């Protein structure tokens, strides 16, 4: 074990999965001018696979035309899969529940947000969202929200 009870984690990016992508233009929709402030809704989830030593960060990103979130234009779900070599040393197990140190999950969420931002740009490269960026998000805030939602 590392000094001060710190555990050195050994991990790698194992896979990136896109279980869902959709782009919809609502009836009567007019393409907005560049720079239009689309509304984003971003939620996250955390999955563990102890047998395969995996931590999977799921990000669900929705893009709406207006703040009221009535017209969903784009939806993207990504799963960023991390393989943790020393899974049993890093993760804590209590019955059927597995948890991880906050700092590790925050790091994984941060990597996942950047990955999702790139996928969003690639998937929308042929439509009017091609210059719309997934906003900068504090991974700590998203993690706190994830902890309370699960």
pLDDT at 150: 36
Reported confidence tier of residue 146, pLDDT bands at 50, 70, 90? low
Q: How confident is the model at residue 149 (pLDDT cuts 50, 70, 90)?
A: very low
Quick one: pLDDT at residue 52? 97
Rounded-to-integer distance, Cα 110 and Cα 106, Å: 6
* Location of structure tokens 């809704």: 41
Give the Cα separation of 80 and 18 in Å (integer). 9
pLDDT digits (tens, 9 = 90+) for 115-136: 999 999 999 999 989 889 999 9
Instruction: Tokens for 64, please give them.
Output: 């709406």
Give the per-residue pLDDT at 68.
Answer: 86
* pLDDT, tens only, 55-79: 999 999 999 988 788 889 999 999 9
pLDDT tens track for 32-44: 888 888 899 999 9
Cα 26 versus chain centre, distance = 26
Handedness of CA 45, 84, 123, 117 (dihedral sign): positive
CATH number of 3-149: 3.10.420.10
pTM for the full predicted model: 0.87
Q: What is the distance between the alpha carbons of residues 111 and 56, in angstroms, rounded to a whole number?
A: 12
143 alpha-carbon distance from chain centroid: 10
pLDDT at site 145: 60
- Selection from 51, 61, 57 nearest residue 87 by Cα: 51
pLDDT of residue 148: 40
- Compute, in degrees rounded to 10, the torsion defined by CA atoms 12, 102, 48, 142: -100
């Amino acid at each position: 074990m590392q000094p001060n009870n710190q555990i050195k984690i050994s991990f790698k990016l194992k896979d990136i999965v896109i279980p869902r992508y959709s782009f919809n233009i609502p009836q009567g929709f007019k393409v907005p001018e560049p720079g239009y402030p689309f509304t984003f809704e971003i939620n996250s989830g955390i999955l563990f696979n102890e047998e395969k030593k995996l931590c999977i960060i799921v990000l669900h990103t929705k893009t709406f035309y207006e703040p009221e979130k009535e017209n969903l234009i784009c939806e993207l779900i990504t799963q960023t899969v991390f393989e943790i070599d020393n899974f049993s040393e890093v993760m804590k197990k209590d019955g059927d529940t597995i948890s991880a140190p906050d700092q590790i999950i925050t790091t994984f969420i941060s990597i996942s947000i950047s990955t999702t931002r790139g996928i969003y740009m690639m998937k929308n490269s042929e439509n009017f969202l091609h210059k719309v960026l997934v906003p900068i998000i504090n991974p700590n805030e998203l993690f706190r929200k994830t902890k309370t939602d699960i």
